[in-house]
């Protein structure tokens, strides 16, 4: 917006869209807001058609809408819908948009897709199997698409985003006591992806975790299991209605500080 871009934004909640559009317009952007539920494939198709009819093409697509579920597998045996709904939004919704906007990008031989992935894909985060699997699927799709479209100048950036202080993590009260990225820091990562178009943006800790899992997978597994045992499931994940904020030990705070941004 501050660079004078024409911005198309989409989300489920009209009130939030209007609020964000007003803020972006105040920053100098030309804003077009469209209400859309990106977990609904027909709504995705309607969104794509509306955008193309009104604007002709998009230069950059940022797939940011996402659903996260923090729940141990041992509490998920009767919750297969957790896996279905994360895939529906995080994978199928994003792929639907990519496939909708890609033909115009390929015809113009110009386009860039920014996928907001997760540090959990690099760390194999426990309790986030549904979420991480959906983000991993999008990562794999994007690598395959990038290989097909490389010579046609349609490119991809994957951002392995660490934990960010947003309403999405609010239900997990223990996150109130661990270090996280601010929304502004996360937004800067997205801006860098748009401007510089690297293949991947990740924190050094995320990259280290990926290398550790590649070179000594058992060591990486033990470290993640240590964190898994150190941090409990939230009361809501365990089926409890308790809203009491959990007590956080010095050891938990120190461990989370060392592993800043990793999901536990």
Residue 240 CB-half CA count within 13 A: 10
Catalytic pick among 34, 91, 131, 263:
131
Q: 34 catalytic, yes or no?
A: no
Contacts of 130 (CB under 8 A, 6+ apart): 69, 71, 76, 82, 83, 86, 87
Query: Of the candidates 166, 190, 185, 163, which has an alpha carbon nearest to the alpha carbon of residue 257?
Result: 163
Q: Helical H runs in the chain?
A: 14-26, 41-55, 80-86, 94-108, 119-123, 129-149, 183-196, 204-215, 217-230, 250-258
Question: Cα separations (Å) of 182 from 9, 89, 159, 248, 261?
Answer: 21, 24, 15, 21, 11
Pairing of strands 154-161, 200-202: parallel
The crossing angle, in degrees rounded to 10, of helices 41-55 and 94-108 is: 30
Is there a contact between 189 and 160 (Cβ–Cβ < 8 Å)? Answer: no
Please calculate the CA angle 165-171-172 and round it to the nearest 5 degrees. 75
Strands 60-63 and 30-35 turn out to be unpaired
**CA–CA distance, 116 with 90 (Å, rounded to integer):** 9
Q: Which residues are catalytic?
A: 131
């Amino acid at each position: 917006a501050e660079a004078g871009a024409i911005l198309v934004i989409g989300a489920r909640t009209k009130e939030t869209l209007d609020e964000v559009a007003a803020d972006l317009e105040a920053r100098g952007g030309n804003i077009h807001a469209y209400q859309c539920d990106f977990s609904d494939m027909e709504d995705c198709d309607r969104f794509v058609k509306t955008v193309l009819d009104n604007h002709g093409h998009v230069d950059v697509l940022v797939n940011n809408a996402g659903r996260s579920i923090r729940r141990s597998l041992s509490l998920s045996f009767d919750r297969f819908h957790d896996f279905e709904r994360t895939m529906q939004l995080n994978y199928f919704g994003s792929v639907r948009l990519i496939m909708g906007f890609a033909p115009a990008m390929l015809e113009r031989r110009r386009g860039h897709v920014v996928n907001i992935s997760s540090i959990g894909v690099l760390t194999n985060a426990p309790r986030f199997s549904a979420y991480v699997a959906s983000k991993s699927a999008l990562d794999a799709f994007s690598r395959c698409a990038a290989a097909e479209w490389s010579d046609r100048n349609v490119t991809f950036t994957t951002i392995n985003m660490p934990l960010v202080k947003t309403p999405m993590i609010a239900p997990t009260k223990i996150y109130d006591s661990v270090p996280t990225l601010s929304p502004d820091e996360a937004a800067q990562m997205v801006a860098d992806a748009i401007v510089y178009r690297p293949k991947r943006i990740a924190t050094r800790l995320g990259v280290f975790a990926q290398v550790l899992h590649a070179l000594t997978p058992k060591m990486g597994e033990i470290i993640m299991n240590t964190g898994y045992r150190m941090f409990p499931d939230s009361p809501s994940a365990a089926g409890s209605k308790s809203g009491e904020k959990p007590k956080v030990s010095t050891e938990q705070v120190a461990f989370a500080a060392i592993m800043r941004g990793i999901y536990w």
